[in-house]
Amino acid sequence: MFRRTPRPDYYSLRYYESSYSDLHSVSEHERKALVLLGIQANDVILDVGCGRGTLLREVAQMCQWAVGVDYSWAAVNIAKMNIEALKMADIIRASATYLPFRDMSFNKVSMLEVLEHLDKKDSILAIDEVYRVLKNGGKSIISTPYVEFPISLLSRIYRIMTRSIFSSLHVDEKSIRRIKRLMYKFSNKFILIGSRGENAKNWRDKLITTLKYPHPKLSGQLTIISYKAGK
C-alpha cells in the first residue's frame, strides 16, 4: 500500500481501462464541473490531472483556449486521441506539483479526482500551483473523495487485504475537516458541495457504492469551488 505519491507509470493504459468502462465518455463529476466552471467564450482554462482528456475536450469547445496536464504518459496519449480534432486545446505531460506555466496564466482551473492520489506534501504543492497559475479573481474547481472515521479505517483494511495496486493509488483520502484546513491555506473564499458519489449503473456498482458511501456524514464526493482574491 502506497504512502507516498505513486510513480506515473502506475497510471498505465491498463489502469484506465480497468477504471473506466469507456475511455471517451464524460463522467458525472466532469459534467458537474462543466456547469460549475461557468465557461465563457474568452476563458483560458487549465485542467490539472486531465486523465483521459474528456473534460478538456468539452471545455475546449466552449472557451478561447484549454490546456490539460497529466504526468502519466498513458493519460497523455489517451487525451491526445480525445482532443485530436480540436484546434483550441493542448495536452502537456507535467506534474500537478510543478506546472510549467507563468503566474496568473489562466482565469479558470479544474483539478478533478487528483488530491486523493497525492501524499500530504504533494497535495499542498498542487493546490499552491493551482493558485499560482490562476489569475486574480479567477475560479478553481477541485473535486476529491472525503472519508471520515470509521470508513477511513475500513478503507485502509480493504486495500491491505485485496493487495490491489489500483485500489492502493488513493494514498490520502481526506476528511472534510482536513480539506477545509488545506483550502484555508490558500483562500478564505470557497464553497464545499458534497455528494454520495456517481450514480451506480449495475448491481455490482450499487453494492460498492453502498459500502463505500454508506452515509453522507461518513464519506462521499466533495466539490470545492474557490476564488482567487484580487481583480
pLDDT at 71 over 80: yes
In the chain, what are the domain boundaries? 8-227
The closest alpha carbon to 8, from 82, 69, 55, belongs to 69
pLDDT of residue 121: 95
Superfamily of segment(s) 8-227: Vaccinia Virus protein VP39 (3.40.50.150)
Highest-pLDDT range among 11-15, 173-177, 208-212: 11-15
How much is the pTM?
A: 0.86
Segment 27-67, tens digit of pLDDT: 988 999 999 999 999 999 999 999 999 999 999 999 999 99
Tens of pLDDT along 97-125? 999 999 999 999 999 999 999 999 999 99
Mean pLDDT of 144-165: 65
Task: Determine the distance from the C-alpha atom of residue 125 to the mean position of all C-alpha atoms in its chain, rounded to a whole number.
Answer: 14
> What H or E segment, with its residue span, contains residue 179?
helix 176-184
The residue-averaged pLDDT of 195-221 equals 51
- Asked if the model's pLDDT at residue 68 lies above 60, the reply is yes
